[in-house]
Amino acid sequence: MIKYINTLKAYLLRCTIIYLLISNCLADELNENKIGLLEEYLSSVNNISFTFQQTTDDKSIKGWMIIEKPNKIRIEYEEPEDLIIIGNNHYLILYNANDNLTTNLENRGPWNILTNAEINLSNNRDDKNINGFVEEIKEIDMKDGKHLFYKILMKNNNSFFPPIILHTSIDPIKILGWSINDANKTYIKIIDIIKINEKELNKEVFELRQEDRNSGNVWVGPFNRAPANRNPDYR
C-alpha cells in the first residue's frame, strides 16, 4: 500500500511538472506574439501628433506632442505651463518661454521606445540584438475590453534605463498612454491623435529659432497661445 502511494505521488509530481512546463511554454509563446504585435505597430509609425493629458502626483495638465523618427520630438502645454520640450537627434532642449531660458539634456531615455527608428524587443534580457527588454506584460479587463500593459526597459549601452509602462489596446493594437516611474509618477494618456504618418512635416517644428525667442511667438501647437509673457525680471 505504501509503495502504491509513493508511486502515485511520483506520478502526480511528474504530471504537475509537465503541466507547469507546458503552461510556461504557452505563456512564453503568447508573450512573444504580444511583443511582436507591439514591435510591428511601433515600427509602422514614422510620425505622429496628438493631444494628451499628463498627470503627476500634484497636478494634471493638457499637452500636445509631435514625434518624427528618428529621435525628433516636440511637446507643448496649455496655459499656464510655459515649458516647451524639443528633441532633435542627440539633444533635448527644455525651454522655459517666460524666462527665455534653455536647458540641454541628452536625448536618450525610456521615451526612445517612441522615437527610435528601429525597435527590437525581446523578453530575453541577454539578447544582444535588442534595444528594449520586455520585463512583464499584464492583460487587464477594462470597461471597453482587455488592455495590455508592457513594462519595457530601453537599452542604455550595457545597462538599461528605468522602465516605461506602455498602455495599449489589443484589437487593433495602438498606444493609449504610458507611465514613467519618475519622482513625479508621470502618466500620459493620449486624448486625440491629430495626424499620423504624414508624408511631409515642417522641420522647423523641431527647432527653437532665435527670432521666435526674441518675439515670444514660440508656440506651434494647437492651443492658440499668445506670445510668451516675459517675467518682470527677464533680461
- Beta strands 145-156; 164-169: pairing state: antiparallel
> Could you give the CA distance from residue 177 to residue 231 in angstroms, rounded to a whole number?
34
pLDDT by residue (tens digit) across 81-123?
Answer: 999 999 988 899 999 999 999 999 999 999 999 999 999 999 9
Does residue 127 sit within a domain?
A: yes
SS3 104: strand
Q: Is residue 7 part of a domain?
A: no
Residue pair 150/164 in contact by the 8 Å Cβ criterion:
no
Whether the predicted pLDDT of 43 surpasses 60:
yes
Flag whether 227 is in a domain.
no
Residue 149's CATH number: 2.50.20.10
33/153 Cα distance (integer angstroms): 18
Give the per-residue pLDDT at 10: 52
Task: For residue 223, tell me if it sits in a domain.
Answer: no
Per-residue confidence (pLDDT) for residue 9, from 0 to 100: 47
| Residue 9 exposed, middle or buried by CB count within 10 Å (0-12, 13-18, 19+) | exposed
The sign of the dihedral angle between the CA atoms of 74, 48, 42, 63 is: positive
- Assigned domain for 205 exists: yes
Establish if 230 belongs to a structural domain.
Answer: no
Has residue 2 got a pLDDT over 90?
Answer: no
SS3 31: helix
Amino acid at 157: N
Whether 9 maps to a domain, the answer reads: no
> Is 94 a domain residue?
yes
**Which tens digits make up the pLDDT trace of 131-180?**
999 999 999 998 888 999 999 999 988 889 999 999 999 988 999 999 98
Q: What would the grid cell of residue 37 be?
A: 504585435
Give the domain range for residue 143.
Answer: 43-215
Per-residue confidence band for 194, with pLDDT thresholds at 50, 70 and 90 = very high
Mean pLDDT of 3-28: 46
Q: What is the pTM of this model?
A: 0.83
Q: Could you give the number of structural domains in the chain?
A: 1
